[in-house]
């Protein structure tokens, strides 16, 4: 039997294969439809799936884009070819389906369902919008170094997960089995040859793609995850160099090359290739498993450390086990490197001109620091000098108290004087005059004490000698005082004034530099604010586009597809995650409201609000929601956002959705106008009448009226 879906009402029609290519009247809608010519034409039904188009073919089977009827989602439907419908072929096919079904990872293609229909075995898998790595290599020959490492890192994440979860060995890692999605995700496919490590036996068939097989895989030896590391290394070699490491006409020659021959070093194909990348490839492709990385964890760590050095921008490199699902914009990275090189050239030209702006800025910062340091050194030395002088005068005061005490013997005074004289000898130059003054004062005190202790016979010899010494010391002291007043003190004052003036100058320079820094900070903050505003605007555009799609799905009651879209948007644009979560909650509630009428297959437009409220209460009872909330959801299901806005005027999402719908109507009207359509369908007027009057919906109505000359007034 041949089953297909009516293109008008989607009713499933079954006919004999002998009627293929003919025409039949649909029992549901009574319209004449064409019967598909072959079993796998568009519209044919296989199991729970409607075939939409053919997207690929291989040696094992053909892959179609299909719609799963029960869950309303797109899948990749792989149908096993008749020539492979052998016991071994079916076993391999089922092995792939079971292995893919057990594993769920962002970098693995997951199996949804497997079955048989009319003698054909099929398997439904994740549908990937993108291309194989093989197709990209065929088109571009080589992959940029960091992007190649990014792809290998993601595939290694998938292999690491499969090994840790199920001790699974892929055995067929190659560009044909690596899909690159439009979102920049690398997904490992085709687990048909995958095997659990414990299932290995000596009599197992040797399977795999010879150009990528490890030496132990050729030899039929026990395998582990290091065999996949070898195959992944060959794939990385091909991405970097644009060619395979080994080529031969026969499989035996190719096997011998894998066992004994060293591949051409990749740097010979790519001049300037970092030696670390070449070392990574060589270790992955080591002939003996013991010479390779011990496991995928060690490989992932090595790739991450390598990309920290080689990546144009390290912020693009995801951590191990946190593979980013966003596309790495290598255009941005290239632009970043070009801008950096351009700035380096500009700086070199400024240096050659002798007036580098960067040097001036650095000097504005260094000179005030140097001035502060000089002042600090001067103040420190001045404090030391003053401390030294205070110590000297303190010693003199102590000696003066001893000399004034008549009970202190002269011998002790002479000893103290000798000790002080020795201490003051060799003082720094800055204290020479003060030292001489102190020594003179000590001699004066000794002479005065000696004069008081003169012999009782009135001998004048000692007194005259003492007087001469005192006069000489006083003369020296007066000379020192005059020298300090006329030379030392004015000079020190001039030096202090000059230092203060220099300090004021450098302080003003420091303030100027601080002002320039503040201006730079203000400019940076302004740029950051602008960037945030651009991101907010981009998010709003994205939300608006999603609103348009959700509106179409809601009014056609396709809630599961709406949930899939919101889940995808949460992963694709994390900044709008909170909005997606709120919309997911709304979709769940709308689905619940629609469930009240789903079994009756009624026309929502013909149900009154009172009937809707009673039907909801009959099914769910009083669940705490207000009447306005329930009726608002009901009006949203009918696409009547005008009444929904009246019921919940405080809800901003309703006018926002209406604005998105109005934007969609304008876009459709412009498209039809560009195609030469003379008038619009009447549904345009019906849809617009259901929208609340917001500035954007009003502008949309005006635009449509301009395009179609008063269309809304005519309808």
- Catalytic annotation, residues: 172
Residue 138 structure tokens: 């065929």
Q: Is 669 helix (H, G, I), strand (E, B) or coil?
A: helix
Inter-residue contact 702 to 709 (CB < 8 Å): no
Integer Rg of the chain from CA:
46
Is 456 buried (19+), middle (13-18) or exposed (0-12) by CB count in 10 A? exposed
Tracing tokens 């994205």 back to the chain, one arrives at: 542
What are 507-515's contacts with CB under 8 Å, separation 24+? 507/368, 509/364, 509/367, 509/368, 510/364, 510/368, 512/364, 513/361, 513/364, 513/365, 513/368
Secondary structure (H, E, C), 11-43:
CEEEECHHHCCCEEECCCCCCEEECCCCCCCCC
Helix, coil or strand: residue 415? helix
Q: Residue 624 and residue 617: Cα distance in Å, rounded?
A: 11
d(CA 83, CA 276): 47
**How far is residue 198 from each of residues 169, 222, 253, 598, measured CA to CA in Å?**
10, 10, 30, 50
- What stretches of 405-488 show up as alpha helix (H) in DSSP? 410-424, 432-452, 461-483
Helices (H) and strands (E) in the chain, counts: 24, 15
- DSSP letter assigned to residue 484: I
In SS3 terms, 239-274 reads as HHHCCCCCCCCCHHHHHHHHHHCCCCCHHHHCCCCC
CA 601/CA 689 separation, integer angstroms: 25
Instruction: Report the distance separating Cα 638 and Cα 579, nearest Å.
Output: 23
CA angle 430/436/439 to nearest 5° reads 135
Distance in angstroms (rounded) separating the CA atoms of residues 712 and 715: 5
Cα torsion for 345, 349, 350, 352, to the nearest 10°? 140
Question: How many CB atoms are closer than 10 A to CB 266?
Answer: 20
State the maximum Cα–Cα separation within the chain, in Å, rounded to a whole number: 164
CB 146 within 8 A of CB 160: no
CB atoms within 10 A of CB 449: 20
Cα 220 to Cα 214, 216, 223: the distances in Å are 10, 6, 8
CA distance linking residue 323 with residue 472, whole number of Å: 94
Distance CA 99, CA 118 (A): 24
Residue 210: which H helix or E strand, with range?
none
On whether the CB atoms of residues 37 and 21 are closer than 8 A, the answer is: yes
**Contacts of the segment 684-691: beta carbons below 8 A, 24+ positions apart:** 684/711, 684/715, 685/711, 685/712, 685/715, 687/639, 687/661, 688/662, 688/712, 689/642, 690/638, 690/639, 690/640, 690/641, 690/642, 690/643, 691/641, 691/642, 691/658, 691/661, 691/662
Q: Which two tokens stand for residue 232?
A: 């992944």
Residues 6+ apart with CB under 8 A from 425: 435
DSSP annotation of 278 reads: H
């Amino acid at each position: 039997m041949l089953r297909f879906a009516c293109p008008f009402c989607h009713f499933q029609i079954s006919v004999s294969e002998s009627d293929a290519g003919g025409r039949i009247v649909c029992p549901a809608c009574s319209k004449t439809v064409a019967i598909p010519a072959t079993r796998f034409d568009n519209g044919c039904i296989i199991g729970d799936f409607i075939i939409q188009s053919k997207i690929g073919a291989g040696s094992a089977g053909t892959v179609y884009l299909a719609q799963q009827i029960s869950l309303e989602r797109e899948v990749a439907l792989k149908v096993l070819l008749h020539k492979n419908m052998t016991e071994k072929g079916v076993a391999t096919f089922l092995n792939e389906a079971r292995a893919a079904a057990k594993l769920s990872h962002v970098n693995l293609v997951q199996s949804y369902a497997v079955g048989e229909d009319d003698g054909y075995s099929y398997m439904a898998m994740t549908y990937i919008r993108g291309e194989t790595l093989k197709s990209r290599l065929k088109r571009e020959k080589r992959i940029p170094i960091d992007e190649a490492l990014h792809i290998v890192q993601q595939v290694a994440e998938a292999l690491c997960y499969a090994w840790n979860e199920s001790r699974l060995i892929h055995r067929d890692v190659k560009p044909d089995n690596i899909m690159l999605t439009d979102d920049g995700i690398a997904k490992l496919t085709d687990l048909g040859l995958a095997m659990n490590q414990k299932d290995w036996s000596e009599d197992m068939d040797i399977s795999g793609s010879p150009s990528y097989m490890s030496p132990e895989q050729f030899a039929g030896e026990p395998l582990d995850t290091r065999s996949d590391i070898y195959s992944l290394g060959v794939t990385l070699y091909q991405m970097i160099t644009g060619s395979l490491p080994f080529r031969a006409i026969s499989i035996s020659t190719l096997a011998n090359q894998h066992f004994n021959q060293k591949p051409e070093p990749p740097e010979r194909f790519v001049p300037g290739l970092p030696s670390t990348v070449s070392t990574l490839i060589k270790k992955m492709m080591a002939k003996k498993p013991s010479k390779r990385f011990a496991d995928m964890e060690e490989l992932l760590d090595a790739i991450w450390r390598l990309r920290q050095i080689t990546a144009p921008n390290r912020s693009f490199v995801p951590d191990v086990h946190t593979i980013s699902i966003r596309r790495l914009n290598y255009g941005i990275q290239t632009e970043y490197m070009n801008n950096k090189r351009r700035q380096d050239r500009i700086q070199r030209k400024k240096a050659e001109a002798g007036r580098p702006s960067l040097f001036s800025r650095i000097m504005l910062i260094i000179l005030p620091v140097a001035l502060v340091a000089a002042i600090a050194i001067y103040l420190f030395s001045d404090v030391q000098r003053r401390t030294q002088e205070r110590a000297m005068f303190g010693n003199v005061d102590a000696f003066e108290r001893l000399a004034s005490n008549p009970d202190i013997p002269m011998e002790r005074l002479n000893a103290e004087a000798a000790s002080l004289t020795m201490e003051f000898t060799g003082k720094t130059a800055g204290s020479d005059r003060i030292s001489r003054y102190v020594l003179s004062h000590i001699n004066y005190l000794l002479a005065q004490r000696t004069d008081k202790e003169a012999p009782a016979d009135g001998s004048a010899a000692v007194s005259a000698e003492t007087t001469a010494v005192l006069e000489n010391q006083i003369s020296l002291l007066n000379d020192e005082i005059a020298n300090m007043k006329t030379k030392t003190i004015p000079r020190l004052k001039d030096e202090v004034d000059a230092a203060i003036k220099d300090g004021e100058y450098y302080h003003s320079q420091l303030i100027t530099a601080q002002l320039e820094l503040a201006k730079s900070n203000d400019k940076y903050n302004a740029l950051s604010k602008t960037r945030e505003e651009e991101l907010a605007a981009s998010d709003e555009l994205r939300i608006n586009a999603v609103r348009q799609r959700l509106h179409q799905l809601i009014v056609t009651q396709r809630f599961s597809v709406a949930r899939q879209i919101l889940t995808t948007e949460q992963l694709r644009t994390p900044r709008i995650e909170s909005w997606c979560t709120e919309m997911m909650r709304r979709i769940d509630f709308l689905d619940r409201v629609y469930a009240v009428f789903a079994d009756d297959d009624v026309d929502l437009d013909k149900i009154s609000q009172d009937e809707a409220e009673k039907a909801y209460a009959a099914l769910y009872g009083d669940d705490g929601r207000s009447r306005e909330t329930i009726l608002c959801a009901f009006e949203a299901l009918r696409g009547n956002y005008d009444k929904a806005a009246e019921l919940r005027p405080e809800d901003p999402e309703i006018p926002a959705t209406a604005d998105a719908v109005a934007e969609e109507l304008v876009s459709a009207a412009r498209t039809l106008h560009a195609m030469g359509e003379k008038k619009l369908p009447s549904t345009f007027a019906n849809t617009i009448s259901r929208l609340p009057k917001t500035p954007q919906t009003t502008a949309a109505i005006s635009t449509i009226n301009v395009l179609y000359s008063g269309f809304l007034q005519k309808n």
